[in-house]
Amino acid sequence: MTTTRSEVTYTPTFTDGDEFRLPTFKLLQQDGTLYDGAEAPDLDRDKALRIYRAMLFTRVLDERMMAAQRQGRLSFYMQCTGEEAAVIGSTAALDDADMIMAQYREQGALAYRGFTTDEFMNQLFGNEQDYGKGRQMPIHYGSAKLHYMTISSPLATQIPQAVGYAYGQKLAGEKHCTITYFGEGAASEGDFHAALNMATVHKVPVIFFCRNNGYAISTPTIEQFAADGVAPRAFGYKMQVIRVDGNDVLAVHEATRIARRMVVENNSPVLIEAMTYRLAAHSSSDDPSGYRSRKEEEAWREKDPILRMRHWLQDREWWSEDDEKALQESLRREVLETMKRAEKRQPPALETLVSDVYDVITPALAEQLEQLKAHIRKYPEAYPKSAGRGKGGA
């Protein structure tokens, strides 16, 4: 039986919903002071510094690894640059045991949870210590220990999975939720729409976190959707929604903190749209100069989320220029040294090619492995023994 709560009208009226404009939640101005009327959020010094360190680490890691990619030491890389507040501010508002189902540009979330520099490097170089055994491409991290699902390349496929993971948490009676991150481009996939609908129907403890960073590779948002961003779609599914300044770490944290409460206490899923900007290229294979202007990039550089948070920390005297200098230097050193160690480690063993395809190695795979071994014995010089350099992805 079809029912609606709508009233009856005797005049044909159409609407595109534009009369309802979603505001953008902001707290922090670029100079580090709060907006007039904005209330300082409940964020203590330790947590604020943990967030800041993760943001700076992510920035340093990204700069260093993109440089390594340019030097041919690494096959592929993607930066989170410009979106550190959106990613880390939100993760920091969760419990560390809440599940994260990310898209790929969310390395900051892992950094916040304590993924070590060594763990990052082992994945990037796909060496024998990589948890994924060298199988997934760079930045497709995963950590069972830190509740971060291994990244999968096809876009938006993590979103329905997040709904299922969260449903499992609900059935198990856990007081935990799942957050899923995705870009505004990925939100065009059918998976996004289907997942949101199911989440409200099934009352699932999931937070949908959209990083609206202006671009999907070369495609600007104006080619992606006609609506005012991604957030208004929540209404169609009767989902709680908030739009937040993604470069404002306090606003992101506060919005996600409240969202988590709604999600965990009421099983009421929430959509958060964080308005931000992808300051770097899409990936190491991309050159944005063909599709956007330097001027536009510069304007967003002025809104750097890390600088904004630093100003706020310094205002409160939780952080100083000396602290900044010391941390930057130590992070740079650590990243460089760890990278040098990781790139020298051995690649995974030949036998790992065929394990984990099934729980036991099938006869066909065993035979294929034997043939391969026999071949490599005959042509040892044709196959490099150390973790060589790949050429790059998309």
Ligand X SMILES: Cc1ncc(C[n+]2csc(CCOP(=O)(O)OP(=O)(O)O)c2C)c(N)n1
Query: Three-state SS for 28?
Result: strand
Query: How far apart, in Å, are the Cα atoms of 80 and each of 56, 58, 176, 240, 275?
Result: 11, 7, 26, 27, 14
49 scored as a contact of another protein (CB under 8 A): no
The residue from 34, 49, 217, 372 that contacts ligand X (CB under 6 A) is: 217
Q: Which stretch binds another protein (CB under 8 A): 34-42, 44-52, 243-251, 378-386?
A: 378-386
How many other β-carbons are positioned within 10 Å of the β-carbon of residue 11? 4
Query: Three-state SS for 42?
Result: coil
161 scored as a contact of another protein (CB under 8 A): no
Q: Which residues contact 57 (CB under 8 A, 6 or more apart)?
A: 111, 331
Distance CA 102, CA 352 (A): 26
Distance CA 4, CA 12 (A): 17
Nearer of residues 171 and 222 to another protein, judged by Cβ: 222
Task: Indicate the DSSP class of residue 38.
Answer: P
Nearer of residues 41 and 160 to ligand X, judged by Cβ: 160
Asked if 131 and 143 count as a contact pair (C-beta separation under 8 A), the reply is yes
153 scored as a contact of ligand X (CB under 6 A): yes
279 scored as a contact of ligand X (CB under 6 A): no
140 scored as a contact of ligand X (CB under 6 A): no
Sign of CA dihedral 285, 220, 104, 274: positive
Q: How far is the CB of 301 from ligand X (least distance, A)?
A: 17
The residue from 32, 285, 311, 327 that contacts another protein (CB under 8 A) is: 285
Q: Measuring CA to CA, which residue among 4, 18, 81 is closest to residue 284? A: 81
- Tokens 């066909």 map to which residue? 364
| Residue 105, contacted partner among another protein, ligand X, Mg ion, none, CB below 5-8 A by kind | ligand X
The residues pairing with 246 across neighbouring beta strands, listed in sequence order, are none
Nearer of residues 43 and 280 to ligand X, judged by Cβ: 280
Which residues between 213 and 232 bind Mg ion (CB under 5 A)?
213, 216
215 scored as a contact of ligand X (CB under 6 A): yes
Q: How far is the CB of 293 from Mg ion (least distance, A)?
A: 17
**Four-CA torsion 64, 248, 51, 234, nearest 10 degrees:** -100
| Residue 223, contacted partner among Mg ion, another protein, ligand X, none, CB below 5-8 A by kind | another protein
The residue from 59, 113, 170, 282 that contacts ligand X (CB under 6 A) is: 282
308 scored as a contact of ligand X (CB under 6 A): no
The residues pairing with 242 across neighbouring beta strands, listed in sequence order, are 272
Residues lying near another protein in the complex (CB under 8 A) are found at 75-76, 126-127, 133-138, 140, 152-157, 185-186, 188-191, 216-219, 223-225, 285, 290-291, 347-348, 350, 352-354, 357, 364-365, 368-369, 372, 375-376, 378-379, 382-394
Residues lying near ligand X in the complex (CB under 6 A) are found at 105, 153-155, 182-186, 211, 213, 215-217, 278, 282
